[in-house]
Amino acid sequence: MLWISANPGCGKSVLARYLLDSELRNVSSDQRSANGALSCILHQLFMQKRELFSDRILKRFEVYNKKHLLTSFEELWDALIITSQDNQEG
């Protein structure tokens, strides 16, 4: 995920068009979706800090089968919110 922030007229749209046309041409469709982005963020968080994969998150994943979880933006977003609110893990 890339976050670009600048004042109006600084070229954010030009940069985005360049990246889409030149650099990201071969990106698969699952890497262009909000679900894919959330899934990647969660994966990276859990790999870097395994403690974040709490019982609460594990139970949530057990309730839904993998296919439903990966196609549900709401479930992935809720998992990210739960993970980000884990005060014990910083």
- Give the per-residue pLDDT at 87: 65
- Give the per-residue pLDDT at 28: 62
Nearest 10 degrees: Cα torsion 33, 64, 47, 54: 130
Predicted TM-score (pTM) of the model is 0.58
- Give the per-residue pLDDT at 31: 63
**CA quadruple 23, 25, 28, 32: dihedral sign:** positive
Q: Give 9-67 pLDDT, tens digit per residue.
A: 999 999 988 888 887 776 666 566 888 888 888 888 888 888 888 787 777 777 766 66
- Give the per-residue pLDDT at 7: 94
Dist CA 83 CA 32 (whole Å): 23
